[in-house]
Chains A and B, each alone.
Chain A
Amino acid sequence: MYTFGIDIGSTTSKCVVMEDGQNIVGTSLLVGGIGTKSPERAVNEALESAGLTWNDLAATAATGYGRNRYDEADYNVSELSCHGLGAHHTFPTVRTIIDIGGQDAKVISLDEKGRMNNFLMNDKCAAGTGRFLDVMANILVVPVDEFAAYCERAKEPAKISSTCTVFAESEVISQLANGVEMEDLIAGICSSVAVRVGNLAKRINIVPDVCMSGGVAQNAGVRNALSETIGQPILFSPQAQLFGAIGAALYAYQKQVNKK
């Protein structure tokens, strides 16, 4: 049985095709989320990579901020539950998930069976989210995916004290003007995100194992700083950005199985 999950975020669209709730047989990840053509293209790309058509799918589920506007799916699930399911599928021992997406940060707590039993989200502010890193990458003219390499070379991470993205932008510009090394500045930016999200995580009881999901999980600079902040190793999978879509495909599978 093939099931399909689509995660329409604020900045990207991700799809996953699963076979029997176990194997991932097709994926896609496109820049462009809610309100763009990317969700449709991501669906086609994932089906193509799996060698399937929409009619081959037993059930579909949508998640992410665009879930309510995607009428094609059979089910609509919050990204909180989906990241929980996706992370638990990949790391069966995981109990705490830290998801940093394009416009929000979430900490999700799972019970031993992988069911979500609590969550916390950032307040209405872009600090500590992927958008914060995008803004910084833009003014520094350094792609986000190169941040990790810069962090490794940093000697003394700069202190970014402002929590407001706009004020932090001016702070970074003035530190740059004062001759702070790019490596130290980028390490400081990653650390600023880590401290903010780490503090959110500390409000929930952090039970190991801990993993990261969402786009920012790819950034080893943030990941390492976050691990240091919460005092726990953080599990990482190259598929971390697909956890939401994997969770949606799993949800659709479970619904189909329960129907029988």
Chain B
Amino acid sequence: MAEEVKKKRPPLDPNSAKARLGKIAAEAYSSAQEAKARGEMVGWCSSNFPVEIPETLGLAVVYPENQAAGIAARGAGERMCNISEADGYSNDICAYARISLAYAKIKSAPEQDMPQPDFLLCCNNICNCMIKWYENLAKELNIPMIMIDIPFNPDYEVSDAETAYVRDQFRAAIAQLEEITGKKWSEEKYNEVREISGRTSRAWLKATACAHYEPSPFNGFDLLNHMAVMVTARGKIEAAEAMEKLHQEYEENHEKGVSTFRTEEKYRIMFEGIACWPWLRVTSTGLKSRGINMVTTIYADAFGFIYDDFDDMCRAYCKVPNAINLEYARDKRVTLCKNNKVEGLLVHTNRSCKLWSGFMYEMSRQIGEECDIPVASFDGDQADPRNFSEAQYDTRVQGLMEIMEARK
């Protein structure tokens, strides 16, 4: 195994991308709390809902998926899941949903608090479990829910009919939100937000693409932290500036020959699936201690939305990873593997996400063949710590490493 070089780290520069992104992620919660305290309405929003809509309307929204990930990463996933399971929710349901439903009931979690919602914004382009999760929240809390239906797309391109179907729903959602909150839509403001969201996304994708350098100027696990800003704040100017700073730092790292992966990069892999948040340190250390850098993951790139106008925005939200067909999804990943000179694929068979884990059985086989790389998978969960075995993870990662080693 690679020797980990322990260096004393200097205090975090407040102007660094890491510090700025951390501040923006924290402010996503504090600014919503402040809005609530001022008597403004606050929404709960699914991660692939078009954030441009609440941002243009000047609405404070928070993200239950992001909160559940934070709660799970800070060790409270099991406690929260137990609460919703005692209320009758099956442990087969997504753990983000179980944590969120528990939070809506007990209204407090020191690991990551957020204000209670006055309305809900749901989009099923990420999964269909989301619909029932949000419907139950709406019923339990007796608040309105705005639902945008983006069907799974069996074709490679987004058709005009689908674009029109989604466009009409986006417009209807805007009208509903105006009625619920009393805020007014402004095309001028929307264009500003769209510009900023595009700027943030371009910078983010340029930053993640720096993984093509060998060695990579960053540890791929950094992306899992930074992407919180892409989920919650990509329409804000501070986010665009911080992402541009991140890209600049990664380019500088490459020029100086340094990296945030603080050990020798012996192997480069793609990680597939949502992070195993309750076991983030274990999963990260299992790789890093062997010199394996997770240089790329579709999960991070998925939150980079680039489009030119309203219709193009509709198409962009139809192309998120869980709404596209196997061939298109495979090709996106193959491109990431090839561009970033990936030597192996590690798949998280995530018990919470039946959709994503289900299609990976076949897709990972196809990616392995197309890229001529070994594939290993491990059982885990994005937020329920009970679905992971450290010893089994370790054996699979070591096996993957030994194949990569033999191929060198």
A124 engages B389 (CB within 8 Å): yes
Partner of A104, one of B375, B392, B403, B406: B392
Which residues of chain A have C-beta atoms less than 8 A from B368's C-beta? 118
Would A81 and B374 be within 8 Å (CB), given that A115-B406, A124-B392 are in contact? no
Which residues of chain B have C-beta atoms less than 8 A from A77's C-beta? 398, 402
Which residues of chain B have C-beta atoms less than 8 A from A79's C-beta? 395
Which residues of chain A have C-beta atoms less than 8 A from B388's C-beta? 124
| Cβ-based interface call for B391 (8 A) | yes
Nearest A residue (CB) for B357: A123
Contact flags A103-144 to B (C-beta < 8 A → 1, else 0): 010000000000111111101100000000000000000000
Would A116 and B392 be within 8 Å (CB), given that A78-B398, A124-B379 are in contact? no
Which residues of chain A have C-beta atoms less than 8 A from B377's C-beta? 120
Partner of A203, one of B361, B389, B394, B403: B361
| Cβ-based interface call for B202 (8 A) | no
Which residues of chain A have C-beta atoms less than 8 A from B399's C-beta? 78, 80-81, 116, 119
B394 engages A124 (CB within 8 Å): no
| Cβ-based interface call for A68 (8 A) | yes
| Cβ-based interface call for A150 (8 A) | no
| Cβ-based interface call for A65 (8 A) | yes
Which residues of chain A have C-beta atoms less than 8 A from B212's C-beta? none
Nearest A residue (CB) for B349: A123
A123 engages B379 (CB within 8 Å): yes
| Cβ-based interface call for B376 (8 A) | yes
B395 engages A117 (CB within 8 Å): no
Would A118 and B406 be within 8 Å (CB), given that A79-B395, A80-B399 are in contact? no
Which residues of chain A have C-beta atoms less than 8 A from B176's C-beta? none
Alpha-carbon distance A81/B157, docked complex (angstroms)? 43
Q: Which 9 A-B pairs have the closest CB atoms?
A: A80-B399, A78-B398, A124-B379, A78-B399, A81-B402, A115-B406, A65-B391, A123-B379, A78-B395
**Which residues of B, 100-152, contact A by the 8 Å Cβ criterion?**
none
Which residues of chain B have C-beta atoms less than 8 A from A121's C-beta? 392, 395-396
How many pairs of residues, A versus B, come closer than 8 Å at their CB atoms? 46
A65 engages B361 (CB within 8 Å): no
Name 4 extra pairs, CB < 8 A, besides A77-B402, A118-B403, A119-B399. Answer: A65-B395, A117-B406, A120-B377, A121-B396
Would A116 and B402 be within 8 Å (CB), given that A65-B395, A68-B394, A80-B395 are in contact? yes
Alpha-carbon distance A203/B388, docked complex (angstroms)? 23
Give min CB distance, A8 to chain B, whole Å: 11
B403 engages A116 (CB within 8 Å): yes
| Cβ-based interface call for B387 (8 A) | yes
Give min CB distance, A235 to chain B, whole Å: 22
Partner of B375, one of A76, A81, A115, A118: A118
Alpha-carbon distance A225/B1, docked complex (angstroms)? 40
Which residues of chain A have C-beta atoms less than 8 A from B379's C-beta? 123-124
Alpha-carbon distance A203/B365, docked complex (angstroms)? 9
Alpha-carbon distance A121/B347, docked complex (angstroms)? 12
The contact sample of 15 A-B pairs, CB cut-off 8 A, is: A65-B395, A68-B394, A78-B395, A78-B402, A80-B402, A116-B399, A116-B402, A116-B403, A117-B374, A117-B406, A118-B375, A119-B399, A124-B379, A124-B392, A203-B361
Which residues of chain B have C-beta atoms less than 8 A from A120's C-beta? 377
Give min CB distance, A104 to chain B, whole Å: 7
Partner of B406, one of A65, A68, A116, A203: A116
Give min CB distance, A195 to chain B, whole Å: 18
Which residues of chain A have C-beta atoms less than 8 A from B349's C-beta? 123
Which residues of chain A have C-beta atoms less than 8 A from B394's C-beta? 68
Give min CB distance, A148 to chain B, whole Å: 29
Which residues of chain B have C-beta atoms less than 8 A from A81's C-beta? 399, 402
Which residues of chain A have C-beta atoms less than 8 A from B398's C-beta? 77-78, 80
Nearest A residue (CB) for B395: A78
Contact flags A62-73 to B (C-beta < 8 A → 1, else 0): 000100100000
Alpha-carbon distance A104/B395, docked complex (angstroms)? 11
Give min CB distance, A213 to chain B, whole Å: 15
Nearest A residue (CB) for B389: A124
Alpha-carbon distance A39/B406, docked complex (angstroms)? 29
Which residues of chain B have C-beta atoms less than 8 A from A116's C-beta? 399, 402-403, 406
Give min CB distance, A209 to chain B, whole Å: 20
Alpha-carbon distance A184/B375, docked complex (angstroms)? 39
Which residues of chain A have C-beta atoms less than 8 A from B389's C-beta? 124
Which residues of chain B have C-beta atoms less than 8 A from A80's C-beta? 395, 398-399, 402
Alpha-carbon distance A123/B376, docked complex (angstroms)? 12
Partner of B374, one of A65, A68, A118: A118
**Which residues of B, 200-259, contact A by the 8 Å Cβ criterion?**
none
Determine which residue in A79, A116, A119 has the highest number of CB atoms from chain B within 10 A of its CB, and name it. Answer: A119
Alpha-carbon distance A79/B376, docked complex (angstroms)? 14
**Which residues of B, 360-385, contact A by the 8 Å Cβ criterion?**
361, 365, 368, 374-377, 379
Alpha-carbon distance A203/B1, docked complex (angstroms)? 30
Which residues of chain B have C-beta atoms less than 8 A from A65's C-beta? 391, 395
Give min CB distance, B397 to chain A, whole Å: 9
Alpha-carbon distance A79/B406, docked complex (angstroms)? 15
Nearest A residue (CB) for B386: A124
Alpha-carbon distance A104/B349, docked complex (angstroms)? 16
Determine which residue in B387, B389, B392 has the highest number of CB atoms from chain A within 10 A of its CB, and name it. Answer: B392
Which residues of chain A have C-beta atoms less than 8 A from B391's C-beta? 65
Give min CB distance, B381 to chain A, whole Å: 10
Contact flags B331-371 to A (C-beta < 8 A → 1, else 0): 00000000000000000010000000000010001001000
Alpha-carbon distance A80/B387, docked complex (angstroms)? 22
Which residues of chain B have C-beta atoms less than 8 A from A117's C-beta? 374, 403, 406
Contact flags A85-118 to B (C-beta < 8 A → 1, else 0): 0000000000000000000100000000001111
